[in-house]
Amino acid sequence: MSWGLLGPETLSSQRRTRTLGLARAVRQFNQLAVPGLGGVWFAKQIFLATLGVRIADRLRPLRANVKTIEIANAVEALACWCAFNGNGWASDSRLRGRQKLFGKDGLTFSRLHQPRFYVTQPMRMATVEALPDLGFVESGSQRFNSFRCTRAGMDLVEVATAGYNPYNATVEKYIFERAKDDASISNTLMLREALSPLIILRPDARELIRDKLCEGAGLNPSAARRKNALAWVRSIDAENPAGWEAKPSELEANHWHDLRLGAQFFTARDAAIDVLNAIEAKMAPMTAPKITADDASRDTIIQTRLKTLREAAQRFLDEGTDPTEGRMATAFCVECVEPNPAAIIRKLVKRDDRVLRLVGNDVLPGAAFSLQSQAETSDEEGEGPGTDNAGRVPVPAGISDRIRNFYLFELDLQGRLEEFLNPTPAEEAA
């Protein structure tokens, strides 16, 4: 799992996510890379979540117990349903819920916001940090239900939907009236073009989002990092991928240092997960899966992965700095350079305790242990840009996923994301 800490929608996949007790460290390095972005990677995510907040705001004076999360989820589900109806129900990394939404019709808001109607991890979850940081909502906490639309959020909804008039109403009014009256929703061309995550936001809406990303860069260090990172990823040439050899002119020295340090940490974490995957793969064919840490450490494949892990962890330790709370990243890397390979395995399995668990010196299956291939499918299509697309982003190896996301975000702001996600046969051959 290389696109953040949230797992796919199905329970088994969600439980398989290995955080290794490092979630806070991951969040801190991601925040240092691109502050305030969260898991957002294309602009329509921000618009749809803001529209959901706006509709909830308008419903609240008319109805008791309006939950912003439910309304925003319903708006997103409606957007994906419209998009799937428009593209023949083809999979796309910008859409979710293909299996859950297929064959559904006669949609009303009371159906759309039912807990099991749509995916359990909607794109809205990726916007929890971005919406308040960019000023599209105000909130007394990081809880989505507390969000209220700001003037900037209302402006975004207005400019993003200008010119789209389903049944001679604005998109906001049409959705609000359907939500208020719980009336059936029609999949009109105007509604689909306004909401579909596959259709790029209008230029003025994209420009508004770009302005908010960079607003206050002269005084706000977080905004300055966003602005500089945006300039850097825009300068990266897909034909000549960026590497770690030299600091880009767009970034300040401390920002570049944090990106390099974070990459070393992420590389060590990923190497640790590779060790655990190798142990699981060795156990999977067994009738009664069980292996001692000492026996696992003598396996050739596991030995190779342990060597890679030690080297990656040592590179992080050699830097001598650690911005994470309680030096959490350092503590993890110290565990990974133990001279005794069995000791490393025991500590990694204890950190896992989901897929594999430790009893004494024995490694046993955890609740999420899989007898199948590591690759799993789910209805959570659109969980990040996808592994294939991630591998094509021309940024330095190991760098924070937020930089990869920001590269795609910048492509979207330029109107070029579609061509990146769906290259022509000639472009792929090149």
Is residue 267 domain-resident?
yes
Q: Are residues 22 and 47 in the same domain?
A: no
Q: Are residues 189 and 50 in the same domain?
A: yes
Q: Give per-residue pLDDT as tens, 291-323.
A: 999 999 999 999 999 999 999 999 999 999 999
pLDDT exceeds cutoff 60 at 82: yes
Q: Give pLDDT tens digits for 184-212.
A: 999 899 999 999 999 999 999 999 999 99
Q: Could you list the residue range(s) of the whole structural domain that residue 83 is in? A: 43-196
291's enclosing H/E stretch is strand 291-292
What are the pLDDT digits (tens) for 272-295?
Answer: 999 999 999 999 999 999 999 999
The answer on 300 and 279 residing in a single domain is yes
Distance CA 190, CA 185 (A): 13
pLDDT band at 386; cut points 50, 70, 90: low
In a domain, 156, yes or no: yes
On the question of pLDDT at 371 being above 70, the answer is: no
Confidence band for 239, pLDDT divided at 50, 70 and 90:
confident
State residue 422's pLDDT score. Answer: 87
E-state strands within 123-245: 137-138, 148-149
Claim to verify: residue 268 and residue 166 sit in the same structural domain: no
Task: Give me the residues paired with residue 253 across strands.
Answer: none
* pLDDT 10s digits, 357-366: 999 999 999 9
Asked whether residue 223 is assigned to any structural domain, the reply reads no
Q: Round to whole Å and give the CA distance between 197 and 408.
A: 14
Does residue 372 have a pLDDT over 60? Answer: no
Residues 317-359 pLDDT 10s: 999 999 999 999 999 999 999 999 999 999 999 999 999 999 9
- Residue with more model confidence, 176 or 16: 176
Q: Is residue 405 part of a domain?
A: no
Q: What total number of domains does the chain contain?
A: 2
**Lowest-confidence segment of 55-69, 246-260, 375-389, 400-414 by average pLDDT:** 375-389
Residues 347 and 295 both lie in one domain? yes
Asked whether the predicted pLDDT for residue 128 surpasses 50, the reply is yes
Query: How large is the average pLDDT for residues 251-273?
Result: 97
Confidence label for 101 from pLDDT (cuts 50, 70 and 90): very high
Whether 164 and 259 map to the same domain: the answer is no
Identify the domain boundary among 365, 391, 417. Answer: 365
What per-residue confidence (pLDDT) applies to 130? 96
d(CA 394, CA 381): 23
- Whether residue 16 lies inside any domain: the answer is yes
The 3-state secondary structure of 132-178 reads HHCCCEECCCCCHHHCEECHHHHHHHHHHHCCCCHHHCCHHHHHHHH
pLDDT at 238: 83
Q: Treating both helix axes as pointing N-terminal to C-terminal, what angle do 221-235 and 401-414 enclose, rounded to 10 degrees?
A: 70
Residues 144 and 25 placed together within one structural domain of the fold: no
- Predicted confidence (pLDDT) per residue in 1-15, tens digit: 333 333 333 333 434
CA 41, CA 233: separation in Å to the nearest integer?
A: 13
Q: Does the pLDDT of residue 81 top 60, yes or no? A: yes
Residues 276 and 187 in one domain: no
Q: Is residue 112 part of a domain?
A: yes
Average pLDDT over residues 225-244: 93
In a domain, 221, yes or no: no
Q: Are residues 25 and 84 in the same domain?
A: no
Could you say which of 176, 196, 216 is where a domain stops? 196
Based on the fold, state whether residues 171 and 315 are members of the same structural domain. no
First to last CA, the chain: 28
Q: What is the rounded average pLDDT for all residues in the chain?
A: 91
Q: Which two tokens stand for residue 31?
A: 């925040």
Lowest mean pLDDT of 99-103, 199-203, 388-392, 403-407, name the range: 388-392
**Domain end call among 344, 365, 386:** 365
What pLDDT band is residue 389 in, cutting at 50, 70 and 90? confident
On the question of pLDDT at 153 being above 50, the answer is: yes
Residue 24 has a pLDDT of 96
User: Are both 16 and 77 inside the same structural domain?
Assistant: no
Whether the predicted pLDDT of 375 surpasses 70: no
Instruction: Judge whether 399 lies within some domain.
Output: no
Residues 298 and 342 in one domain: yes
Distance CA 53, CA 140 (A): 15
Residue 119 clears pLDDT 90, i.e. is over it:
yes
